[in-house]
Amino acid sequence: MKTRVITAAVLLAVLALVVWQIYTPALVIVVAFLSAVASNEIMRCAKVSNKFIIITGTVASAIIPFFSNPSCLEPVVSTEKWQSVIGAVPQTVYIIVICLAFFLAMLKGYSHTKFEDVAVSIVASIFVPYVFSILVRLRDLQGYRSQFGIYLIFFALICALATDSGAQLAGMAFGKHKMSPNISPKKTVEGAVGGVVFSLILNFVAILLYNKFANAPISKDSIIVLMCFALPISILGMMGDLTASVLKRNFSVKDFGKIFPGHGGVMDRFDSSLFTLSATYALTLAFFS
């Protein structure tokens, strides 16, 4: 417990630093680090043994967030200059190159590299960093220093973290009926309901605080949209947690990694956030872009 508390305190300090410097390249650097570690964790848990695939996938995961949008390095590198760099070649080309490189590596190391290794590595090296990059995409949703974009980041994280925390507390207090005993025996229906309710409450409080302090308050219509989608996105957060549990069972591991003592790896901390960030970004493109 002591280790968990110390790690949590350090993580909160880092989070505070990132929030303080959120309009600098600090955000994309942290996102790149998390992406690289998460990608590496998945490949190693899946027992991918091809060193070329592991190294290439990890490096690609660290680079992808820097291609999230032209403003990601402001104010160090101007939007115009970085746009000329990342826009020189369509991003689809890089994805194709990575996929082809993995398949060629499979052919070269066919004795110890399976198609499953390539499939897992593509998900880990492309999908995972892309979702982490949504943190940067949302930040610059309506241009550099977009306050609404920052709110959407917290909206997605609240849907994940508040649901998880609320589910644990409600499950300990009222849990009786198992929600998914074969995947995660400790999760209960009562806990799930409590987690979603807690997420809705925190999201509503967050909207009130945002409208009180932001330069441009959220309109009533937008509030209705956000609160309506807070419910399904919170449920998706739980599905993300269960999905990670299925993967760990398939890989026969307890945790994805050990980078956070007492808490596991990056994927152990952000499994549900990957789902809520994806859903929030889809919501953003549909209603707020």
Q: Where are the domains of the chain?
A: 1-143, 146-289
| 64-68, 221-225, 256-260: range with lowest mean pLDDT | 256-260
Query: pLDDT class for 157, splitting at 50, 70, 90?
Result: very high
pTM: 0.92
| 14-18, 92-96, 123-127, 245-249: range with lowest mean pLDDT | 14-18
Mean pLDDT of 49-73: 95
Mean pLDDT computed over every residue of the chain? 92
- The fraction of the chain above a pLDDT of 70, given in percent, is 99
Query: pLDDT tens across 176-185, in order?
Result: 888 888 888 8
Dihedral over alpha carbons 64, 274, 186, 10 (to 10 degrees): 60
Query: pLDDT class for 146, splitting at 50, 70, 90?
Result: confident
At residue 1, the pLDDT reads: 63
Query: pLDDT tens across 223-252, in order?
Result: 999 999 999 999 999 999 999 999 999 999
Residue 160 has pLDDT above 70, yes or no: yes
Return d(Cα 244, Cα 255) in angstroms, integer.
10
